[in-house]
Structures are given as C-alpha cells and as structure tokens.
Amino acid sequence: MTLKLSYKLSAAALAVYALTVLAWPNALLFLMDDVSASRNGFFAQISFFVLVVWLLVIIRGLLRARPLVSDWPRPQPALLGVIWLALCVAYTGFEHGWFTFPDFVYEEDGLFESATALALLFCAALLFVIGLGRAWRHDRRLGSVAVLMAVFCGLLFLEEISWGQRIFGWSTPAQFEELNAQQETNLHNMFVGYNQLIRLVVALLISTSLIYRRAWIRGLNRIGLGELMPSASAIYFVPFLIYAHTYDELFEEVVGVFLIAYAINFHRRLATEARSPD
C-alpha cells in the first residue's frame, strides 16, 4: 500500500493552512487558552507558521524515505500512546474549561506538576546508574554521555522545583524577582512570551532526529554513540510532542513520560546486548 498520495494531500492541506495563517493571523489560536492567546498570540502565530514549514519539508523527505506502510515501524508499546493521548486530552480540556478536576491535580506543586518533577528525578537517577554501569562497560564514551544526560535531567528537575525554593521556602533574589514571571528562583519562567517558540524549536529538533533515526544512528555510530538513539517506535511520540508544545505544563509532562520510556528502553537494550554471545 502506497502512502505517496496521502503525503501529497497532507502537504497540500498544510500549504493551504500556511496561507490561511498569513491571511488570518488568529487561525488555530483556539488551541490555546484565552490568557495565553492574548499574551503570547504573536509568538504563537510565528510558531504555528514555522511548524507548517517544517512539516512541508518533512513530508517531502517522507515521500522518498517512507513511501510504504511497511516502511514505518510498528507502534510499540501502544500503552505509551494511550498515556500521551490521555495527558493531551485531559490538559486541553482543563485549560479550555471543558471539564474540571480537583484543585490538587493542576494547582502549583499539585499532582500534575509533581509528576513531572518525579519523572525527571527518576530519569536522572536511572541514567546515572546506566552511565556508570552497563553503558560504561559497553563504551566509555557512551557511559560519559549517559552521565551527562543524567546531569541534564537533574538540572531540569531542579528547575521544575525552582531549585528547592517552594520546598524550603526561601525568598526570591531581587534579580530573579524582577525578571521571573512567577517571581521564583528558576530560569524557564524568565522567557514568558517566547516559551512557545522555544518549546516548538525543541520539539522539532527532537522530532527530526526521530523521523530520520537511521541517518542519526549512522552518524553516532562513527563516534561509538549509536546506542543513544531510542527504538524505532519512538517516532510515534512526534505528534504528541508537537501538539503539547502549545501548553507549557503539558509539554513538560509529555517529555517526562518520554524520558522515562527512553531511559528504561536504553537500560533494556544494553542489558540484552550484554547477555548476547559475541
């Protein structure tokens, strides 16, 4: 079964959408809640247009790289897709008032936000263990990068909890209070207004690497880091990631779930290789 016609129709629809955005700047701002649309509408319009241009380029590449259904990996495990879909539907419904949740779910330091922080902490710990264990024995370069990834996840965790400020209750330094939208000791709330565009750039960089996974593996194998790439089925993470970039907290949660799945899969792949005969 060929997908070329589907790709071409998708490209045509996206081209029409791009022209619509130019003619009607508020197109698809309904995806955002009213507060975000009023405050960040201009950057949202830019990010939506950038997204369309990126999708057109990707579709052109898919016409050559994956013209058949059989060229796409199987979407395993399906459970992750269900989790990501549930997160997207629940958070979108919450933002638009389609349904309500108890306050402890979405409030500051509530269930949703705390789950993101715990996911980052878990990934930091697991990647650190992998880096100093199986990855180091496999290749010291691989182990070193895994440890760096663990440190990065740890920094994201500290950012998410404002470096412990909301736990220990210290006052915000004057420099942060003036620049930070929530008057907290963190960096990610200093870019309010630009956040959606930043999230989109991150989402597109990750998505491009997942779509062109084979090319990335070939390049990373030259320096002994090919095992860093996730399994082929991770490509089905792309639409959820791109959609989630519209909402800051949802984006963090979706990425957190992906990082947990990635760290566990990374650990399993190295364990399988360690058990396989030479």
pLDDT tops 60 at residue 181: no
CA 35, CA 211: separation in Å to the nearest integer? 33
Domain boundary among 43, 72, 101: 72
pLDDT tops 80 at residue 102: yes
119-128, 165-174, 213-222, 257-266: the lowest-pLDDT one: 165-174
Q: Same domain, yes or no, for 166 and 246?
A: yes
Q: Same domain, yes or no, for 40 and 155?
A: no
More reliable by pLDDT, 106 or 218: 218
More reliable by pLDDT, 64 or 152: 152
97-118: average pLDDT: 84
Which of 248, 255, 253, 261 lies closest to 112 in space, CA to CA? 253
Q: What was the pLDDT predicted at 184?
A: 66
Q: What is the mean pLDDT of the chain?
A: 82
Q: Same domain, yes or no, for 61 and 108?
A: no
Q: Same domain, yes or no, for 4 and 124?
A: no
Q: What was the pLDDT predicted at 50?
A: 85
Q: What was the pLDDT predicted at 49?
A: 79
Q: Same domain, yes or no, for 59 and 155?
A: no
Q: Same domain, yes or no, for 13 and 94?
A: no
Q: Same domain, yes or no, for 55 and 98?
A: no
Of 74-88, 89-103, 145-159, give the range with the top mean pLDDT.
145-159
Domain count, the chain: 2
> What secondary structure does DSSP assign to 227-268, as a single string?
GGS--GGGGGGHHHHHHHTTSHHHHHHHHHHHHHHHHHHHHH
Q: Domain limits at 61?
A: 1-72
Q: What was the pLDDT predicted at 263?
A: 94
Q: Same domain, yes or no, for 58 and 153?
A: no
Residues 6+ apart with CB under 8 A from 197: 43, 46, 47, 50
Domain boundary among 52, 72, 92: 72
pLDDT tops 70 at residue 175: no
Which of 251, 241, 266 lies closest to 54 in space, CA to CA? 241
Q: Same domain, yes or no, for 60 and 80?
A: no
- How distant, in Å, are the alpha carbons of 32, 135, 185 from that of 207? 22, 25, 30
Q: What is the pTM of this model?
A: 0.84
Q: Same domain, yes or no, for 44 and 109?
A: no
Q: Same domain, yes or no, for 160 and 129?
A: yes
More reliable by pLDDT, 164 or 144: 144
133-150: average pLDDT: 94
Q: What was the pLDDT predicted at 16?
A: 82
pLDDT confidence bin for 32, thresholds 50/70/90: low
Q: Same domain, yes or no, for 63 and 173?
A: no
Look-up of token digits 């130019």: 22
253-274: average pLDDT: 89
Domain boundary among 22, 55, 72: 72
